[in-house]
Structures are given as structure tokens and as C-alpha cells.
């Protein structure tokens, strides 16, 4: 019997070894990676914009190219709230959530510092490229690594990583802690800048780019629709009272005369589609001058197109301005892909396109069309709340902010005056609960006890960080935003804010369409699997199987 067992075990071992050997022989001798990864963020792009304007996108543009030759994940969601720019860019590249990576908003009340903190602020560094303070930025507030950091680690820091965006947070946070550079736009000077976190002087190619004053060229062109305005049937009529007026109250619709901003106001370019074109041109210059994708070591270019967000905030998702901005972005993406084909090689680069968040309808538009929605003035909310609390507790400024749909209380005054925090929170909850458009208000530490939808509960929990979040959570009714009478915004868990596009294109990507539900946090995990590198240090996502096939 013992002889039989021994023979059987030996046979199993030999068989297993043979199977392992067969598997190992089928593996490639070396790790295959693309020459360049290009991450593309379209700030505030709703998922439906891929298809809403599909028939108007050019066959040589970017969107149809990606949708036709790439893989689209049509059910991609953001798994946390608040759905805002800094969180979105960070989550895509870290594969994590605010509860872990610490970027809980574009800004937050920081209880350790006892003040408002901007997401990428860093007073220990200086501006490089201008004399303004716009360059006092770095990724140090981000608590985890990004996929770009992990690529640097995997190649012993031989990979080149660069971030480019008009918004500082759109370039800095994705590129990560170990990036070679991040460049953003100084609205005071019209120049692309960086900080001493990365370097002490701008490269000559950036100086040359700045010398062109490209923004002035676009200003002198003005902004009219690409096609006859009557053909924009997917959008509401031009000129609406509920739209903001970023170019002056006298300019109520197309065409927009921008000449008066030339040489004077460089920030306005961001509220036109030409801010995206400016970003695309900067990205092209980075590719060629930094020789990205030119050797055997994979590089990473993180590009964020910010103007879609500025235009969307001002005019809303149903405006001709937004439609025209996406038609122009389509052309910009097509030009970028053509350039990559020529400089890096078709099929030699991997790219993905996604968004940091979506956007709600402008409340005025919603009401005009009998849809639910409205606006809550959060500044007035804090002001009125402080008046009520001061009258009762004889102390001013007990409510510090309403950042990220959370009311932060003044712990320093509450402690020093020996006030009862629980009583104050109950007063805050009673007050905010009476405001139209606010559905629920509760102490954030009682989140798990709230009888509410599991999806909403999980997303709020994923957005909460103990040192960078508020005390009292507000949940707005569907269609309601924090803001005023014009324009719109985003930040909630609802699909219009959290359902985002995700399209993969290029190296080793097979054309197709997937309706599996996946999440923003899965992007970094998928990149890690494709590149065969470690996931970022706070990653909670999983590789998307449709991409891996």
C-alpha cells in the first residue's frame, strides 16, 4: 500500500511539474509594455456626451476613433461623494477613495491645521515661470501613490512622467509624487508654470511655448460655433437667463467677441474651448521635447482638459456652448492621436479617456422643462446658521464651512467655551433639515445607523476622512445643487454626477463595448495589470476584465 501511495504521489508531482513547465514555456521571454501611456481626463464630461453628439463627431476626430477602435466601459461610476475635480483626478490615478488618499475636495476645513486647505497647496515651494503665487503647489497633500509613481518605482525611476492641465490640481495630482514635471496655466500671466517641487527653472521648450502667447491668438479669433447655429439641435436655444455671463453681461450669446481680453485677462481663455486646444498643444510639445515614448522604458503623460468644466459650469450641459466645446475637443483629440501615431507609433501607445465627474442640469433649465431641481445657497446657509447659533450659544462663527456638503464646526471655540457639541449638532441638523432641497441631514459619525439607500451610504462613507471632513452631512434632493440663480455644478452621488465615460484605446486593446458595472477606482488597477506593475499604495479597485481579455 505504501509503495502504491508513493508511486501515486510521484506521478502527481511529475504531472504537476509538467503542467507548470508547459505554462512557463507559453509566457513571453520579456515583459511587454507600451512605449507611452497617455491618460486623458475631460473635466466634467458626462457619460452621455459620448453618444449625445456622436453623429456630429468627425470621422477623423478623437471620440469616434476611440469608440470604433477601442473598448468602451459604458457603466463606469464614481464610488464616493463628493464628486469634484480634485477627488476625481486623484481617484482615477490612485485607484483609491478620499477616505484613504485624503483628497476630500478641492478644498476642506483641516482640523489639524485649523484652517481651510486647498488640495494642492504647498507654501514650502515657489512658483517657477512667473512672479505670481500660482505655482506654490505640489502633490504633498495626497497621502498615497499614483499609478505614475508605481511606474517610476517599477522602472527604477527611469520612466518619464509629466502632467499637463490648465488647473494646477488637474496636472499635479495625477502625475504623482515622483513626477518629472507637472505644468499648469497661470491665469495672471498666460504662461505655463510649475513649482520648485519639480525644478528650479522652466525648460527652454516651455519658455518658447509661453513666448508665443497663444491665448492672445485665440482671443483675437473670437468664439463662434463651428457649424451653423441652427444645426445644434441637441442643445437648448442660445441666450438663456439661467446661463452665466463669463465674457461680460453684454455678451449674451454667440458669437463671442474676445479681443478685449488679449494681453489683459488671461483667465477667460479657460471658459472657452480654446483652453482645451491650448492644453493639447502643450501636451504635443511635451511629447516631442521630452522625447516621451522614444526608448524601451514606458513613459506616462497625464493630460486633463479643464475647459469642458469651466464652460459646463457657466452654461450647463444642455447649452450650445457645451456642444460646441465637445465638437472642438473631438478635433483636438484627433490631432493629438495623429501626432502620437507619427511620433510614438500607431499601436505603440496606450491611452484611456475618462472624467473626474459629471454635472447636474442648470436648475433654471430643469424648472423650465418641468424637471425636479433647484439651488441651495450654501454661503447663506452658513451665514444664517451662525446667526442662529450665536444667538443661542453667545459665540460667533461656530459653523466654519459647508465644504463638500458637510458642515464643519469650530472645535476650538466649542472646547474653549465648554459648549456641548452634541447639542450644537442637533441645532444644525434641525436648521438645515428645513431648507428646501436638502433631503437628509445627520451627524457624520452616525452614517452607518442612517436608514438610507446602501449605494448612497457607501459613497458618502468612501468620501469621509476623519481629519479632513466635516461634522454634519447634508444630502441634497436629486437635481438640486449648491449655488445661485445661474450656471450649475456637481458633487453628489447621483448618476448625473457619478456616471462617467471610460474608453480604452491603442496598445493591446481590443475593440468592443462592455456594460459591466465598473468604477473609477478600477482604472489604476487595470493599468497596473496591463503594465505588470504594483498597484498604488491605497488602491481599492480591481482590474477590468473586459480590458484584460
Give the C-alpha separation, 243 to 258, whole Å: 18
Note whether 100 and 464 are within 8 A (CB).
no
Give the C-alpha separation, 219 to 424, whole Å: 51
Give the C-alpha separation, 202 to 196, whole Å: 10
- Residue 296 class from Cβ within 10 Å (0-12 exposed, 13-18 middle, 19+ buried)? exposed
- Annotated active-site residue 85? The verdict is yes
> Which of 500, 444, 352, 454 has the alpha carbon at shortest distance from 37?
352
Place of cell 478635433: 331
Cα 87 → chain centroid: 7
Q: Which of 72, 76, 83, 85 is catalytic?
A: 85
Place of cell 459629471: 358
Please give the sequence-ordered ranges of beta strands (E in DSSP) within 4-78, or none if there are none: 36-42, 71-77
Note whether 357 and 498 are within 8 A (CB).
yes
Phi and psi of 378, rounded to 5°? -70, -30
Q: b/e for 386-406, b at 16 or more Cβ within 10 A?
A: beebeeebebeebbbbbbbbb
Beta strands 181-186 and 161-165 are parallel
Q: Is 102 left (phi over 0), alpha (psi -120 to 50) or beta?
A: left
Cα 163 → chain centroid: 13
Cα end-to-end span (Å), the chain: 47
Return the C-alpha cell found at 274.
480654446
Give the C-alpha separation, 389 to 397, whole Å: 8
Note whether 138 and 110 are within 8 A (CB).
no
Phi and psi of 180, rounded to 5°? -70, -35
Establish how many alpha carbons lie within 13 A of residue 300's alpha carbon, considering only the half-sphere containing its beta carbon. Answer: 33
Give the C-alpha separation, 333 to 350, whole Å: 14
Counts for the chain of helices (H) and strands (E), in that order: 20, 19
Q: Which residues belong to the active site? A: 85
Amino acid at each position: 500500500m505504501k509503495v502504491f501511495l508513493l508511486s501515486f504521489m510521484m506521478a502527481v508531482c511529475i504531472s504537476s511539474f509538467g503542467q507548470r513547465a508547459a505554462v512557463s514555456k507559453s509566457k513571453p521571454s520579456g515583459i511587454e509594455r507600451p512605449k507611452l501611456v497617455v491618460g486623458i481626463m475631460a473635466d466634467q464630461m458626462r457619460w452621455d456626451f459620448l453618444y449625445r453628439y456622436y453623429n456630429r463627431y468627425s470621422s477623423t476626430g478623437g471620440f469616434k476613433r476611440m469608440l470604433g477602435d477601442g473598448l468602451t466601459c459604458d457603466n463606469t461610476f464614481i464610488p464616493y461623494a463628493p464628486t469634484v475635480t480634485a477627488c476625481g483626478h486623484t481617484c482615477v490615478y490612485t485607484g483609491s477613495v478620499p477616505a484613504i488618499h485624503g483628497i476630500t475636495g478641492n478644498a476642506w476645513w483641516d482640523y489639524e491645521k485649523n484652517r481651510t486647505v486647498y488640495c494642492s497647496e504647498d507654501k514650502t515651494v515657489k512658483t517657477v515661470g512667473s512672479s505670481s503665487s500660482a505655482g506654490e503647489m505640489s502633490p504633498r497633500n495626497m497621502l498615497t501613490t499614483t499609478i505614475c509613481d508605481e511606474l517610476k518605482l517599477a522602472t527604477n525611476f527611469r520612466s518619464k512622467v509629466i502632467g499637463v492641465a490648465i488647473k494646477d490640481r488637474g496636472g499635479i495630482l495625477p502625475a504623482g509624487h515622483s513626477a518629472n514635471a507637472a505644468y499648469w496655466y497661470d491665469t495672471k500671466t498666460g504662461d505655463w508654470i510649475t513649482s520648485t517641487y519639480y525644478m528650479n527653472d522652466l525648460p527652454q521648450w516651455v519658455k518658447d511655448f509661453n513666448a508665443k502667447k497663444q491665448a492672445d491668438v485665440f482671443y483675437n479669433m473670437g468664439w463662434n460655433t463651428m457649424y451653423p447655429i441652427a444645426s445644434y439641435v441637441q442643445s437648448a436655444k442660445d441666450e438663456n437667463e439661467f446661463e452665466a455671463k463669463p465674457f461680460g453681461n453684454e455678451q449674451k450669446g454667440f458669437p463671442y467677441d474676445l479681443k478685449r481680453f488679449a494681453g489683459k485677462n488671461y483667465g477667460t481663455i479657460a471658459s472657452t474651448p480654446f483652453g482645451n486646444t491650448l492644453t493639447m498643444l502643450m501636451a504635443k510639445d511635451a511629447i516631442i521635447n521630452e522625447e516621451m515614448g522614444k526608448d524601451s522604458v514606458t513613459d506616462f503623460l497625464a493630460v486633463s482638459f479643464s475647459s469642458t468644466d469651466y464652460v459646463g459650469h457657466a452654461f450647463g450641459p444642455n447649452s450650445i456652448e457645451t456642444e460646441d466645446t465637445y465638437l472642438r475637443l473631438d478635433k483636438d483629440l484627433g490631432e493629438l492621436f495623429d501626432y502620437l501615431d507619427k511620433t510614438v507609433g500607431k499601436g505603440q501607445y496606450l491611452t484611456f479617456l475618462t472624467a473626474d465627474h459629471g454635472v447636474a442640469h442648470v436648475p433654471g433649465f430643469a424648472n423650465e422643462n418641468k424637471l425636479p431641481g433647484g439651488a441651495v445657497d450654501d454661503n447663506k446657509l452658513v451665514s444664517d446658521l451662525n446667526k442662529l447659533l450665536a444667538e443661542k450659544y453667545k459665540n460667533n462663527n461656530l459653523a466654519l464651512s459647508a465644504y463638500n456638503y458637510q458642515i464643519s464646526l469650530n472645535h476650538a471655540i466649542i472646547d474653549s467655551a465648554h459648549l456641548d457639541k452634541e447639542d450644537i449638532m442637533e441645532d444644525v441638523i434641525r436648521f438645515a433639515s428645513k431648507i428646501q432641497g436638502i433631503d437628509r441631514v445627520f451627524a457624520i459619525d452616525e452614517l452607518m445607523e442612517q436608514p438610507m439607500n446602501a449605494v448612497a451610504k457607501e459613497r458618502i462613507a468612501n468620501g469621509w476622512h476623519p481629519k479632513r471632513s466635516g461634522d454634519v452631512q447634508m444630502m441634497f434632493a436629486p437635481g438640486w445643487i449648491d449655488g445661485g440663480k445661474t450656471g450649475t455644478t456637481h458633487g453628489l452621488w447621483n448618476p448625473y454626477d457619478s456616471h462617467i465615460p471610460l474608453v480604452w484605446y491603442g496598445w493591446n486593446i481590443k475593440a468592443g463595448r462592455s456594460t459591466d458595472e465598473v468604477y473609477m477606482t478600477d482604472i489604476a488597477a487595470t493599468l497596473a495589470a496591463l503594465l505588470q506593475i504594483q498597484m498604488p499604495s491605497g488602491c481599492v479597485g480591481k482590474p477590468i476584465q473586459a480590458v484584460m481579455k
